[in-house]
Each structure stands twice: as C-alpha cells, then as structure tokens.
C-alpha cells in the first residue's frame, strides 16, 4: 500500500511538472488522475486495499466537512435568535471501535463538531460519554454517531 501511495504522489508531481501549473487544484487533479490510471492498470489483479482506502478517506473528509458546516449553522442560529431550543444532555454511546487510534479519532471528531463534546471513555473502552447541546431523542443521536463517524472510521481502519 505504501508503494502505491508513493507511486501516486510521484505521478502527481510528474503531472504538475509537465503542465507547469503549481496550483492546489492541479495537484488535486493530478492525484485523482494518477489514482484512476493506477486503478485501471491494476484492475484485474485482485482488490488492493489502497484503491478502497483513498475513496473512503475522501468520503470521510467530505462527511466531516458536511457535519461541521451543519453544526456551525445550527449553533450560530441558536446564538443569534432570542429564544433557545437547546436540550442539552449527556449520552452513553456504545463503541464498536476497539483500537486506541479509532477511539481517539472518534472522540476528537465529536469534540471538533460544534455543539458536542466527548467527555470520557469507560475503562473497558466499550462506552464513550458525549455531551450534546441538542438531544431530542437519545436513540436517534446514538444512531447518528454510530452510522456517521464511527461507521466511516471503521471502514478506514479495517
């Protein structure tokens, strides 16, 4: 996997050098183009993890940006209006993520999203305690975390 990533970067830099355009958009286009070319070349020889990991990472990043923007808008609206619709609370979220890296990543992503804060992880690493500003339905909130951040983290780490 490391060799494929290095090859992808090398092809990206070759693309940028050939085009002479050193803007970020050209680097991004070159990376995507070289990824696609490498995927086509190695297409019939088994499924390499690199070709599933990169789209998962991009999807994860886009999902996080969407959640971040959505939460910022919700908190900004709450602050700028005279009446509060907050229903704060602390929720116990059962964890399917088992690795320290996965738990840390999940807790930090939750804390980076406005309106939520990771408080603690149980000693047996099976439960994450989260404080949220908007909890109307605890089960729906738990489903949102598990089907959102946690599911995508598991896809990346497996």
Q: How many CA atoms lie within 13 A of 42 on its CB side?
A: 16
Strand 89-94 and strand 116-121: the pairing is unpaired
Range of the domain at 130: 50-157
Q: What is the pLDDT of residue 53?
A: 81
- Higher confidence at residue 83 or residue 104? 104
Whole-angstrom Cα distance, residue 139 to residue 146?
10
| Claim to verify: residue 29 and residue 101 sit in the same structural domain | no
Contacts of 96 (CB under 8 A, 6+ apart): 146, 150, 154
| Claim to verify: residue 140 and residue 62 sit in the same structural domain | yes
pLDDT confidence tier of residue 44, bands split at 50, 70 and 90: low
Contacts of 22 (CB under 8 A, 6+ apart): 16
The per-residue pLDDT for range 97-123, each reduced to its tens digit, is: 999 999 999 999 999 988 899 999 999
| Claim to verify: residue 94 and residue 153 sit in the same structural domain | yes
pTM of this prediction exceeds 0.85: no
| Claim to verify: residue 60 and residue 130 sit in the same structural domain | yes
| Claim to verify: residue 22 and residue 92 sit in the same structural domain | no
| Claim to verify: residue 151 and residue 120 sit in the same structural domain | yes
């Amino acid at each position: 996997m490391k060799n494929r990533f290095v090859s992808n970067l090398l092809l990206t830099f070759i693309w940028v050098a050939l085009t002479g355009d050193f803007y970020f958009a050209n680097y991004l286009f070159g990376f995507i183009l070289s990824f696609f070319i490498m995927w086509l070349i190695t297409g019939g020889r088994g499924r390499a993890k690199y070709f599933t990991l990169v789209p998962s990472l991009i999807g994860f990043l886009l999902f996080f940006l969407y959640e971040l923007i959505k939460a910022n808008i919700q908190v900004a609206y709450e602050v700028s209006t005279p009446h509060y619709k907050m229903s704060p609370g602390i929720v116990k979220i059962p964890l399917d993520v088992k690795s320290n890296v996965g738990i840390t990543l999940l807790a930090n992503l939750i804390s980076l999203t406005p309106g939520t804060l990771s408080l603690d992880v149980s000693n047996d690493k099976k439960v994450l305690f989260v404080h949220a500003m908007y909890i109307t339905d605890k089960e729906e909130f738990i489903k949102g975390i598990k089907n959102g951040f946690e599911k995508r983290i598991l896809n990346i780490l497996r």
